[in-house]
A and B are shown apart, each in its own frame.
Chain A
Amino acid sequence: MNTPMPTLSPCRLRLTAAAAALLIACAAPASATTIERVVSPGGIVAWLVRESAVAMIAVDFAFVGGAIQDAAGKAGTASLTAALLDEGAGDLDSKAYHDRLERNAIELSFQAERDTVRGSLRTLTEHRDEAFDDLRLALTAPRFDTDEVEINRAQILSLVRRASTSPTEIANQRWWETAFAGHPYGRPVDGTLETVPTITRDDLVSYARRVLARDNLKIAVVGDIDAETLKPLLDRVFGALPAKADLAPVGAASPQGLGRRIVIKLDVPQAVVTFGGPGIARKDPDFMAAYIVNHVLGGGSLSSRLYQEVREKRGLAYSVYDNLMWLNHTALFIGATATRADRTGETLELIEQEIHRLAQSGPTADELIKAKAYLNGSFPLNLDTSGKIAAMLVQLQLDDLDIDYFERRPQMINAVTLEDARRVAKRLLDGGLLVTVAGRPEGLASNSAN
């Protein structure tokens, strides 16, 4: 939907935190949320939260693979595959398939990300069996009809063309291209004007066969369904998938180009900036300390240093933030802002200065206490809808965390000492930044790497 809908304009704060960033904010035990690990007779695992108060069921799932499994020269394959999974399956062409969904008000969507292909199903309880059947068809018998392939290819190409003149997309894509030159993470998820036209139907069929499998699948179910009812449905939906995915090996990578600043000229009044550097892996013992440090620097609340210095005190930007990002083959911290052309240099300097200051001295004792309180207290807000719970349960499984993670979370947060935070601030923030800027910033040019 691209209809211009301008009624609800301005929000004061940018609603930051990507889903992944929110997850880690889990802290206090979820008294009302009991997670069951359900294993089907066929051996398919799902994490289930039963909530019979709501006459609906939410199913979220992810196949590890994603855009980094696109073949060389075929960037965009995962994205196009995901777009086509609900465009006809089995005996049903696209129209008939959508008709089945719409008649029962079943919502089904698929999306490719860098590391995963994700799906999301929502159904009223009364249409449960039809919904699970529709999902089975989409996953196990997608048609990839020529007409639908071409419609979806054209839509993706249109998105790619649009992104090519969007300052936000330009700054962000150049950052990834530079940081991961030569690595699959350097390719845009939707592909390019060169690669998308070369993707054939065989590429799509082959991608689906390689990636949609059982051993790389994580499933979460939330809502009006019990474990015994779910078990046979899991086999029915996912049982016919190949037992093993056939994934190409992908090497570990660390962002390159630290110390570089790249300015991409674009005729827009406001310059858009992406900045970032190496992060700390999800499994690293320092991860939680890094999460706290990031919160102090530019995380979700408006007490963050970047928010205070760039926005609150000087009015240089509406939005300024940074997030930790953990992928299967790398870890990052990455942030962004957008600011007027004549003060872009000043804004960047301020951000670099704050990062440097935090790297050198770490958070204060008071900041540490407040960050912990925030991260602990915000937990239940991430569990107040079926969709949020389902997304979180998939992420916990992707991150290889235990099912009792919710209970252990507060101790993990509270155990971070000021000394840890200082040490990890240095480790996280002292490695140098790669900065990309799209716009016409006054007096700011590209430099070469240090």
Chain B
Amino acid sequence: MLMLLGALAAAAATADQAAAEPNIVDFTLANGLQVVVVPDHRAAVVTHMIWYKVGAADETPGKSGLAHFLEHLMFKGTTQNPGDTFSRAVAAIGGQENAFTSSDYTSFFQRVPRDRLKEMMAFEADRITGLVLTDEVVRPELNVVLEEQNMRVANNPSSRLAQQMDAALFLNHPYGRPVIGWRQEIEKLDRNDALAFYQRFYTPNNAVVVIAGDITPEEVKADADATYGKIAVRAEIAPRRRPTEPVAEAPRTVTLADARVEQPNVSRSYLAPSRTTARPGESEALEVLAHVLGNGANSRLYRRLVVEEGVALNASAVYTAVGLDYAKFEVYGAPKPGKTLHDVETAIDAVLSDTCEHGVTSDELEVAKNGLIAEAVYAQDNQATLARWYGSALASGETVEAVRTWPERIRAVTADAVRDAARTWLDRRASVTGYLVNSLQPEEKHS
């Protein structure tokens, strides 16, 4: 960790830093389970995560929400550790645990004192294949998930619009499906659905374990052999080939009206390649582009919309780089009172088309690259963040080497590459624009 930190910090300052020292070690057990070790010896704690390469985009149509529902049910106990034995063991030592699901992966983690790592590994290994489910525990948990859907989505107009936008952006690929599921399909999920999904996807050859903290690769190797190494492969995993997006021909717009919307906004999502699917350098160029366009008070969108033209209260851009198949490039603006969504959208379009035409300045390029690389340095201060970086990347088709060399690839981005990425991917035909409004007034409807 020390050498890595040093190297990354230097990379932030000097343009041509060689690759960081390989302090991060990864290996694969005989049963196919991949293990990544990220040493951090500053505190006597470890973050232990398992990442299954299965998410909402792997669900069978009609069973949306199943990956996430199974995530909840994974806490219901196994033959060997019935009920909440695992959770009680974590609580007994003051540990933290949680889990989360995305379109591409499902992840479980514990944060515990270093000397309890092997115990956690044994519990987690047991849970790969040992889950026991009864209707008695499955039914109340389905209600919990429905309340979660209420809390995150039904009660929240912005989330409802975001779901509609994803569904409109992805014409054919299952990224259009909400991770939590469509409510009418969640309601019908049951124990048999969950067990079938579990048996199909939860197997050591479909998982990555990431351990960050006060441990050495040697210790982890021995403990992994003694725990995870004992779990037999129970399913062969087919390549993750999902439906692909057709050539996009028509820009889409969606409008969500809710009487509770007090602050309207407009956002647009462009279909973009992910780190996994982009041509070399292209994803990195999109990261720099998002930074220049919409990160912070001096970004192009904020300066133009908020400060200079005074049409918006806020404006930003984000590129979500991680994804097995696709990513999104998103821009956002919220009108000032007295200004319309149309005003904001027009101003956003002016900034985007100017950027496509003229590209970015060398000064903007340098500031953005320094900012992005510094984020990587700051992340080194948080073992849980690092574990997430590696886990999400590996579960989305990237390699350890790719994560490790990310700062160098950012450093190598040129102004031409940023301009070209903007021209290629800021294509209205492959986008959806979403309007969040109070009511369907004619003026806002087609703004």
Contacts and interface: CB of A to CB of B under 8 A. Distances in A.
Interface of A: 1-13, 15, 25, 27, 31-33, 51, 53-56, 58, 87, 94-95, 98-99, 102-105, 107, 122, 124-126, 147, 151, 154-155, 157-158, 161-162, 164-167, 266-270, 272, 301-303, 311-319, 338-340, 370, 373-381, 383-387
Contacts of A3: 267, 316-318, 330-332
A53 B9 contact: no
A376 B94 contact: yes
Given A267-B260, A338-B147, A385-B382, A32 B98 contact: no
B69 to A, nearest CB: 9
Given A54-B380, A124-B12, A318-B144, A9 B101 contact: yes
B100 A95 contact: no
Given A7-B103, A8-B100, A103-B367, A384 B45 contact: yes
B313 A4 contact: no
Contacts of A9: 56, 68, 100-102, 152, 178-180
A13 B109 CA distance: 12
Contact of B102 (A8, A266, A301, A385): A8
A287 to B, nearest CB: 19
30 contacts: A2-B316, A3-B317, A3-B330, A6-B159, A9-B178, A10-B152, A10-B179, A31-B44, A102-B367, A105-B375, A107-B378, A124-B9, A124-B13, A154-B336, A155-B314, A165-B261, A167-B155, A268-B260, A270-B155, A301-B91, A302-B84, A302-B91, A318-B145, A340-B146, A378-B94, A378-B95, A379-B94, A381-B94, A384-B43, A385-B383
Interface string B1-28: 1100110010011000000000000000
A158 B381 contact: no
B318 A1 contact: yes
A124 B377 CA distance: 8
Given A269-B155, A381-B94, A384-B383, A7 B102 contact: yes
B150 A340 contact: yes
B277 interface: no
A32 B214 CA distance: 12
B263 A315 contact: no
Nearest to A389: B43
A53 B100 contact: no
B383 A380 contact: no
A4 B378 contact: no
A317 to B, nearest CB: 5
B42 A51 contact: yes
Nearest to A313: B140
Contact of A4 (B1, B42, B213, B267): B267
B141 interface: yes
B371 interface: yes
A378 B93 CA distance: 7
Contacts of A12: 71-72, 75, 98-100
Nearest to A105: B374
A10 B94 contact: no
A2 B100 contact: no
Given A2-B265, A53-B5, A94-B297, A375 B94 contact: yes
B298 A95 contact: yes
B45 A381 contact: yes
Contacts of B111: 381
Contacts of B94: 25, 27, 373-379, 381
B155 A124 contact: no
A131 to B, nearest CB: 12
B320 A315 contact: no
A15 B96 CA distance: 9
Interface string B220-246: 000000000000000000000000000
A6 B190 CA distance: 25
Interface of B: 1-2, 5-6, 9, 12-13, 40-45, 56, 68, 71-72, 75, 84, 87-88, 91-103, 111-113, 139-148, 150-152, 154-155, 158-159, 161-163, 165-166, 178-180, 213, 259-263, 265, 267, 296-298, 303, 306-307, 313-314, 316-318, 320, 323, 330-332, 334, 336-337, 367, 370-371, 373-375, 377-378, 380-384, 434
Contact of B154 (A27, A107, A270, A377): A270
Contacts of B434: 4
A158 B141 contact: no
Contacts of A386: 381
A15 B100 CA distance: 12
A56 B5 CA distance: 10
Contacts of A373: 92-94
Contacts of A379: 94
Given A4-B159, A13-B98, A102-B371, A154 B9 contact: no
Nearest to B163: A6
A318 B148 contact: yes
Nearest to B327: A7
A10 B180 contact: yes
Contact of A312 (B140, B265, B318, B331): B140
Nearest to B161: A4
A27 B314 CA distance: 43
Given A99-B298, A270-B154, 8 more contacts: A6-B163, A87-B297, A151-B313, A158-B263, A270-B155, A380-B44, A381-B95, A384-B43
Given A98-B298, A303-B91, A7 B179 contact: yes
Contacts of B320: 5, 7
Contacts of A2: 158, 265, 314, 316, 332, 334
A334 B87 CA distance: 25
Contacts of A94: 297, 307
Contacts of A56: 9, 377-378, 381
B426 to A, nearest CB: 15
A146 B212 CA distance: 48
A319 to B, nearest CB: 7
Contact of B100 (A10, A151, A316): A10
A247 to B, nearest CB: 31
Contacts of B41: 53
Contacts of A99: 298, 367
Contacts of A125: 9
Given A32-B44, A374-B91, A4 B337 contact: no
A43 to B, nearest CB: 30
Looking at A4, A105, A124, A270, which has the most chain B CB atoms within 10 Å of its CB?
Answer: A4
A98 B297 contact: yes
Contacts of A31: 44
B417 to A, nearest CB: 21
B103 A385 contact: no
Looking at A2, A58, A147, A155, which has the most chain B CB atoms within 10 Å of its CB?
Answer: A2
Nearest to B332: A3
Closest 8 CB pairs of A and B: A377-B94, A315-B143, A378-B94, A105-B374, A315-B140, A4-B162, A270-B150, A9-B179
Nearest to A339: B147
